Amino acid sequence: MKLNKEKFKSDYKRKLMNTFAEEIDTASKLHKYFALGGLVRDYVTENWVNTNKYYMESGEKQVYYFSMEFLIGRLLGSNLLNLGIRELCYEGLTELGIDLNELEEVENDAGLGNGGLGRLAACFLDSMASIGVPGHGCGIRYKYGLFEQKIVDGYQVEIPDYWLRDGNVWQIKKENKAVEVRFGGNVRATYETGRLSFIHENYEPVRAVPYDTPVVGYDKNMVNTLRLWSAEPVDYEFDFSTFSRGDYLKAAAYRTSVESISQVLYPDDSNFEGRLLRLKQQYFFVSAGLQSIVRSYKKSGLPMNEFHKHTAIHINDTHPSVAVAELMRILVDIEELSWEEAWHITTNTMAYTNHTILSEALEKWPVDMFMKLLPRIYMIIEEINKRFCEELSRRYPGQNGKINSMSIINDGVIKMAYLAIVGSHSVNGVAKLHTEILKNQELNNFYQVFPEKFNNKTNGITHRRWLMKANPKLTEALNHTIGTNWIKNPNELGKLENFKTDKSLQRKIASIKKENKLQFSNMLKAKYGIDIDPNSIFDVQVKRLHAYKRQVLNILHIMYLYNKLKENPNLDIVPRTFFFGAKASPSYHLAKQTIKLINTVANKINNDQSINGKLKVIFLENYSVSLAEKVIPCADVSEQISTASKEASGTGNMKFMMNGAITVATLDGANVEMKDSVGEDNIVIFGLKANEVISYNKYGGYSAFDIYNNDMRVKRILDQLVDGSLGVSSGEFKNIHESLLMFNDEYFVLKDFDAYVKAQEKIDTLYRDPAKWNEMCIMNIAHSGIFSSDNTIREYSKDIWGTRELKSVPVID
Ligand code: 26V
């Protein structure tokens, strides 16, 4: 955008004055932040309004990304970056005596997601706006985001994340766009209108109010919208009638029950529990979103039977899959289309992404619960299923077992993944390996019936946030070396390969990494009083805590290294600092115990002078998007060590690669494609392959006891877990110990242990050769461009949504 420093300075002073009646020297940091945020929002508004107008008038196909989670993080820095005014604002503010970096730290993270799935949604929004795809987010405006994690005596303690405490400068409440969502009640069939119709009666109404956040494209006049819905009671009639009957308590209970819908994000991403409130959340935002989409579609004057030609709806995991039935309800009950016509429109509108193969995460709603809460939607799902099963019987006559196993409703539960598959024209996995596993194993039945629906879309990350914003020094070095075209076309990072042996670039890359490490170490020292050696290898595993991600393998290896150092304090190893960052679901006992184990080992090692500071273990409290932006740019080693076949894709892996870390990885998820891209000499691969894990599992696993009995290293560390040598009671880590031995190591930790030790020894050796190491770093950056979510979104747009990439938005008068 066009702006100069002097204008910015005067705009800023005026904004501070108009918003808070203050001048710079008297304003608090919070007010300075809000004034800046408000000003940036003002700068965006004109393009935002114009973009919306254009969308409304042109009939341009729109995509709506429906997701329970949008893990956005902070917006000030990324908006400044995308507007191309960060530098200018930085300088202007400096002249006013304000440090922009400090203001950015004031913003609360919008932590409206658990992990990979929510962050992917946020990266996708950034990419859609930046490459010119008309695409919007639709989700829930949780009052409380993912909990804040405190570590107390080594244990995780969860604190509510009231991220809206200070207000939020990006969201605009749109009262006039509110819609009503209906729960409970009963359905009455009638011919009153001359056609069979269904009247939903005695329901509880909920007012869904949207809050819109602008999504600013990079160097584009396109501004898309993230629309998050908040639940409010419907006062006028419902409360009134209750009050008039004098039932004050009932009215109060109604208010609380409604407000609870958008109160809190479920802090679990691994284990499905059939909670009524979660189902309410799902239907709430899906219904609100669809109603508002249909309303604005009709307002644009286009015919209903062409809805799918102008609209694509993406179902991010099964959480919003009730959208299939809700769109059918709107088209059949309200728009009065025939079932067949409505089905044609619905299936051509919807597309579904699967993000996990863990069976315990699959959503299966109990029929009785579902039916009570959403009676009309249940009827519609029954009808969809009836027709689907008829189709199956024609295809597989007499094979009732098979048909039952594919039925959407079976055994008293509704399988939401099946509803999503049947009701969509596209089903995709999130990495090549993951998609193959879906096609050939988990969803093979459905693949046989609908081969044309299945496709792969390997995940990606926005290089604007994860490279340009997170690592400005590296960005500058890249611009200096290969020019700036990579910013618009990240594949051009490949040009860096020509410089892989260039000594001056190698030195530069190494010194940037060092500076980042130093800066991070200083931050940790100031915040936690921890001393770390910036010359040590920074080895980082940051992600949600889950058994399949195998933080346990990492910490067991650290215990093994420590044992070796205790035996021989002169052992020649490159000093290493192991960083962990991970939140555990509050109800996931084993995961919480793993956090305690990491902290216990950290405590022991960090306080042991006899190992000469060769090992340090740091557990980073409250891992979040903004912390990720700080730690990833200073990683030398990236730990991506999930049990092969279990991690659908991973996206942290790509962020580290883009920042020049060397990855230690199993051949799981997108690690496989990272290896193919960077070449096997530039990544350290170890462990069982997916097919090996799958075939072990087919025959009941392997014997963990054999390894325990035959590998003395393993025996020693496992014994140490429970013999008191860690300085805590011997029962403290009993469950971890049992999961590895008694329950036969479901995630192959012990089976992969030896290979992992060797992989880590390889890292040690490689790091001793700086020229080789730096060359590897450069190769990783050079080959990371294909993992930009711009590429991913291009493929979604072309293969699934049928949306166009607009160079710019025509200006509408
Ligand atoms: C699952 C569940 C299960 C039931 C309880 C509530 C809940 C909430 C969220 C989820 C999402 C789990 C799926 C997920 O996050 N998958 C991750 O998606 C990433 C983006 O595609 C991918 O990179 C990770 O490998 C995958 O684990």
Question: From atom 16 of ligand 1, which residue's Cα is the shortest distance away?
Answer: 355
Calculate the alpha carbon distances from 265 to 70, 121, 261 in Å: 11, 15, 10
Which amino acid appears at position 775 of this protein?
A: E
Structural domains in the chain (count): 2
Question: From atom 23 of ligand 1, which residue's Cα is the shortest distance away?
Answer: 650
Predicted confidence at residue 537, as pLDDT, reads 98
The answer to the question of residue 730 being in a domain is no
- Domain with 37, as residue range(s), is 1-58+75-108
Predicted confidence at residue 796, as pLDDT, reads 98
Mutate which of 317, 352, 654 for ligand 1? The one with the most ligand atoms within 8 Å of its CB, which is 317
Q: In the structure encoding, which two tokens stand for residue 604, read together?
A: 């022991």
Mutate which of 66, 146, 270, 462 for ligand 1? The one with the most ligand atoms within 8 Å of its CB, which is 270
- Is the CB of residue 281 below 6 angstroms from any atom belonging to ligand 1? no
CATH assignment at residue 521: 3.40.50.2000
Cβ-proximal residues to 387 (8 Å cutoff; 6+ apart), any chain: none
Q: In the structure encoding, which two tokens stand for residue 290, read together?
A: 């669809």
Predicted confidence at residue 237, as pLDDT, reads 55
Residues 532, 521 contacting (CB under 8 angstroms): yes
Supply the residues annotated as catalytic: 355, 543-544, 549, 651, 655
- Is the CB of residue 361 below 6 angstroms from any atom belonging to ligand 1? yes
Round the CA-based radius of gyration of the chain to a whole number and report it.
27
Question: From atom 1 of ligand 1, which residue's Cα is the shortest distance away?
Answer: 269
Question: From atom 20 of ligand 1, which residue's Cα is the shortest distance away?
Answer: 117
The answer to the question of residue 565 being in a domain is yes
The answer to the question of residue 614 being in a domain is yes
| Shortest-distance atom of ligand 1 to CA 648 | 25
Predicted confidence at residue 96, as pLDDT, reads 98
The answer to the question of residue 547 being in a domain is yes
Residues 680, 762 contacting (CB under 8 angstroms): no
The answer to the question of residue 744 being in a domain is no
The answer to the question of residue 580 being in a domain is yes
- Is the CB of residue 651 below 6 angstroms from any atom belonging to ligand 1? yes
Name residues of the chain where pLDDT drops below 70: 236-246
- Is the CB of residue 115 below 6 angstroms from any atom belonging to ligand 1? yes
For the beta carbon of residue 738, count every other beta carbon within 10 angstroms: 14
Predicted confidence at residue 361, as pLDDT, reads 86
C-alpha dihedral (216, 218, 221, 222), degrees to nearest 10 = -50
Crossing angle of helices 76-83 and 86-95, in 10° steps, is 110
Mutate which of 114, 271, 355 for ligand 1? The one with the most ligand atoms within 8 Å of its CB, which is 355
| Cα 326 from Cα 417, distance rounded (Å) | 16
The answer to the question of residue 457 being in a domain is no
The answer to the question of residue 504 being in a domain is yes
Predicted confidence at residue 494, as pLDDT, reads 98
